[in-house]
Structure 1
Amino acid sequence: MDKLVEFLNDKILPVASMISSQRHMAAIRKGIIATLPLTIIGSFFTILLNIPIESIAALVEPFKAVLDIPFRFTVGILSLYATFGIASSLARSYKLDEMTSGILAVMGFLMATVVPIQVVDGAEGIIDAGRYMSVGSLSSASLFGAIVTAIISVEIYRFMKEKNFTIKMPDGVPPEVANSFIALLPTAVILLFFWIVRHIFGFDISGFLSVLLLPFKDILAGNSLLGGLLTVFLITFFWVLGIHGPAIMGPVIRPFWDISIAENMTAFQEGAGVNALPNIFTEQFLQWFVWIGGAGGTLALVVLFLFSKSKYLKSLGRLSFLPGLFNINEPIIFGAPIVMNPILGIPFIVAPLVTTTLSYILTVTEVVPMMMARLPFTVLSPIAAWISTNWSVMAGLLVIINFIITIAIYYPFFKVFEKQQLLKEQEETEA
């Protein structure tokens, strides 16, 4: 283990540091970290809305619509906040006006992402066309679009300012007024650019990825180890890029997941044993055996953070522990961050591939049964696996084994990342 840590320090850390210090990568990382308070607070409301205890859930049910509001306006529109943060951070590196850059990027993101809803009245036809929009399109599912539009918007603004394609005000005009006039022409260009791309050409930046994946649907939805590993790889790989993996994969794979678990449940009800069910790779297989603490098995990383020498990582571990127990990992994904972080991105992808393979082998050899129930995602993983396999103790034990394996895979990368974080904290203390 020490040799591996030394290798990572000598070979991987310099490359990772070079990548992470690149202007655009740094802006993405800082902009996403800025949303951390929103993801943490929003995550607690998610837990409250999905408590897997019937008596408590019954008490919450009448207030569900009201309790859902804080989540919708934090995590539910996360990409909107991230757009402003990324653009502001990138503008700071260019010494541009941060407020103007953030506003222009938000405008570009909304133009590129949101299609206004037309309210239809049966008697009067279309009324209030374009006055309403769905906040669902502003969630983390559109984070890739947020990154792209933020960078493009700032680069357009920077280019036009450097080439003097702006309206200059006389000396003596207050800076905030002068900056507003400087931004007039860039605003028009950014607005027209994203309007034409989205509403004239009909190109959806975030949805484009789902279209690219459609040819793989037969492989991804299969019952083979290759299909399961490819699904796991794509979900985690997209997350590392800052793209909501399940949201991109969902349109392709979720209908087949739903069919798979429904077939298993039906077969079980008709008398088939848990080792003779038709499908291995249901969503529940990944949810309970692989995504321990959320995509990437991040509860292991949260636990490592709890024992970190870094003040920031220890604090983040404490804040992320309770959401992580209930399989909510936005705080750790956006707080560390794992997004655009080559050091933590490697185990985030590799660990689930290893635990998926082990879980598959133990399932086909009938050491662990197949899934025959669908439970809320906030149930603790060992308990959920135990219940979902018709009370198999081995299923619950497999979750614990996979958790230990995931910790072991994360550990050397955690030590490298911790070293990097400690150096940053030391520099800030000495500054």
Structure 2
Amino acid sequence: MNEKNFAKDLIEFIYSSPTSFHAVKTSKELLNVNGFEELKLNEKWNLEVGKKYYVTKNLSAIIAFTLNSKNIEKEGFRIISSHSDSPTFRIKPNAEMSVEKTYLKLNTECYGGPILNTWLDRPLGVAGRVVLKGEHILKPKEEIVNINKPICIIPNIAIHMNRSVNEGYALNKQKDMLPLVGLLNDSLEKDNFLLNQLALNLGVSSEEIIDFDLFLYEFEKGNLIGANEEFISSGRLDNLSMAHASLNSLIDTKGENGINVVAVFDNEEVGSSTKQGADSNMLLNILERICMSLGKDREEFFTSIYSSFMISSDLAHAVHPNLSEKHDPTNRPIMGEGPVIKINANQAYTSDAYSISIYKNICNEAQVKCQEFVNRSDERGGSTIGPISSTHIDIPSVDIGSPILAMHSIRELGSVKDHYNIYKTFSKFYEV
């Protein structure tokens, strides 16, 4: 698959993944058609060298791995981690609200740190997880749902009523960011609108629905843009692009050493402190279960861990063409020039000279150029799952990612070439 086709495949992957639940569903479908076997967390594992497996948590996180060798005490785990969630708006319970006895809108809560004004005047869909009555009171049934149409919009107010809007306007998350659904009439009632939509979509009665985790998403599909279609314009590049690249490299690579692992966590955008987030023992427990299933004792498990390496993959900030002064004077990554190694003196990223050297070696082997990113010393930057994972799995780790513009916008901008090149480095990591 060439660069442009790989970018188009990413766009399809993202379009099929409007929420973290859908991202895991899309990932499972990709793994299934490539011979991976699903494991259950509450069942005994009987793993075999040469086979491929995956396991999910909360329907919103997934860990996949290939067993290349039984000699993991010396060869270890080769882990690439990313996350499935993106900034958005979660629909609250009792969400229906009427205004002027005419408009129906939904009550929402902000998830993560989106650039708020980019969500205005966009066709929005609703998707997520619905929980139904099951056969046992302790085991309700879960369904993934996508109301796959532009069902709502968050309208701006006219400039005539907000003359200073272009001088800066602070949007209020409770007042300004509520999506409009429609006009109240005989066919659209305020009460139980959402439940009725979900029931219709799932083909069940509304009485069967117990609860839901629903989110807004940009309905319009991403596309390739630019004079030579060199850019990827899409929502949720952060961080589904890294999930896409790592999953495909795991599938395409024929590794011979140790165990290759892809870990796609949830809830990075809100701190990772969940059972399916990087600030949990989810990955550590799964790695130990792999060792146990291969007949290793606990001492051999720890030996395997300390023979391992992790690439924490999230996106990086490219130099902005209109605001280049926002970037460090000497470390200035740009789109199209390769993966970015992220560095921070205060350990917002895990990269150090040792782990950076390993990733640079990987890039050299893959014949891919790399770049380095450091924040301006007078600007506070973000962080990612790397440092959080390191508090649970204390192995060498490097934070890297493709450079993009407009991070956390409803529509982010990446590079076709960079996405393919980071896939090449992931593949080389799994091969060597």
TM-score bin, normalised by smaller chain: under 0.3
TM-score computed with the length of structure 1 as normaliser? 0.27
> Could you say which structure has the higher strand fraction?
2
- Larger RCO (alpha carbons 8 Å, 6+ apart): 2
